[in-house]
Amino acid sequence: MAAPASPQQALAAPYPFRSAPPTVRLIGQESAHDPFALTVAAAWTCYGARPARVESVRKLLDPSLDEPGDEVRPARRERAQRLYPDLFAAGHHTTFQHANFVFVLDGVSRLAIWSFFHSHPHYNSEQVSQRYREVTGTTMVTPDLPEPLLAIYTAAIERALAGYRRLVELLTPDLTARYARVFPSRAKARGPEAEERVRRDVQRKAQEVARYVLPLATPAHLYHTVNGLTLLRYYVLANQLDVPGEVRYVVNRMVEEVLKVDPNFLGAPGHPLDLRLLATEETLEYQELVHLRENLDQTGNEAFFREFDAALGDYHSKLVAYNPEAERLLASAVRTVLGRSRDELGDAEAIAAVLDPARNHYLGHPLFLAMHAKLMQTLNHVSFTFQKRISGAEAAQNQRHRSTLASSPVLSAHLRPEPDVMVPADIARVPAALEEYHATVRALWEAKNRLLDAGVPVEQVLYLLPNSHHVRFYETGTLLTYFWKWVKRLCFDAQREIFETARQETAQVAAVLPEIGRYITRPPCVLRHEAGTRPFCPEGGRYCGIPVWRDYDFGTLADRRIL
Q: Please state, in angstroms and as integers, the Cα–Cα distance from residue 302 to each residue in 196, 219, 420, 438, following that order.
A: 49, 31, 12, 22
Distance CA 461, CA 248 (A): 17
**pLDDT band with cut points at 50, 70 and 90 for residue 33:** confident
At 228 the pLDDT is 95
Higher pLDDT, 185 or 562: 185
Choice among 80-84, 120-124, 287-291, 499-503 with the minimum mean pLDDT: 287-291
| 212: nearest Cα among 24, 17, 467 | 467
The whole-model pTM stands at: 0.93
pLDDT over threshold 80, residue 342: yes
pLDDT over threshold 70, residue 467: yes
Q: Please state, in angstroms and as integers, the Cα–Cα distance from residue 510 to each residue in 322, 514, 535, 550, 555, following that order.
A: 12, 5, 28, 22, 12
Distance CA 138, CA 350 (A): 57
pLDDT over threshold 80, residue 17: no
Q: Which residues have CB under 8 Å from 38's CB, separation 6+?
A: 27, 31, 32, 54, 98, 99, 228
Phi, psi of 176 (to 5 degrees): -65, -45
pLDDT tens, 225-275?
A: 999 999 999 999 999 989 999 999 999 899 988 988 899 999 999 999 999
At 4 the pLDDT is 59
Asked if 280 contacts 287 with a C-beta cutoff of 8 angstroms, the reply is no
List strand residue ranges (DSSP E) for 140-195, in order: none
Distance CA 273, CA 84 (A): 8
At 16 the pLDDT is 73
**Arithmetic mean of pLDDT, 525-553:** 90
- The C-alpha angle with vertex 401 and arms to 395 and 404, in degrees rounded to 5, equals 95
What angle do the packed helices 149-182 and 192-210 form, to 10 degrees?
A: 130
pLDDT tens, 321-332?
A: 999 999 999 999
Asked if 286 contacts 296 with a C-beta cutoff of 8 angstroms, the reply is yes
**What's at 189, amino acid-wise?**
A
pLDDT tens, 43-56?
A: 999 988 999 999 99
Residue 318's SS3 state is: strand
**pLDDT band with cut points at 50, 70 and 90 for residue 176:** very high
- Kind and range of the H or E element at 537? none
- The C-alpha angle with vertex 135 and arms to 130 and 139, in degrees rounded to 5, equals 125
**pLDDT band with cut points at 50, 70 and 90 for residue 14:** confident
At 557 the pLDDT is 56
**Arithmetic mean of pLDDT, 274-278:** 91
Q: Please state, in angstroms and as integers, the Cα–Cα distance from residue 467 to each residue in 61, 124, 422, following that order.
A: 49, 22, 9
Query: Cα torsion at 477, 479, 480, 484 (round to 10°)?
Result: 90
Distance CA 98, CA 262 (A): 15
pLDDT over threshold 50, residue 304: yes
pLDDT over threshold 60, residue 11: no
At 2 the pLDDT is 57
Choice among 13-22, 88-97, 204-213 with the minimum mean pLDDT: 13-22
Phi, psi of 395 (to 5 degrees): -60, -35
- In the chain, % of residues over pLDDT 70: 92
At 301 the pLDDT is 85
At 295 the pLDDT is 46
pLDDT tens, 431-466?
A: 999 999 999 999 999 999 999 999 999 999 999 999
**Arithmetic mean of pLDDT, 76-92:** 95
10 Å CB burial of residue 302 (0-12, 13-18, 19+) is exposed
Backbone conformation region of residue 170, classed left if phi is above 0, alpha if psi is from -120 to 50, else beta: alpha
Q: Please state, in angstroms and as integers, the Cα–Cα distance from residue 196 to each residue in 166, 200, 269, following that order.
A: 21, 6, 61
pLDDT tens, 117-154?
A: 999 999 999 999 888 889 999 889 999 999 999 999 99
Q: What average pLDDT does the chain have?
A: 91
**Arithmetic mean of pLDDT, 385-410:** 96
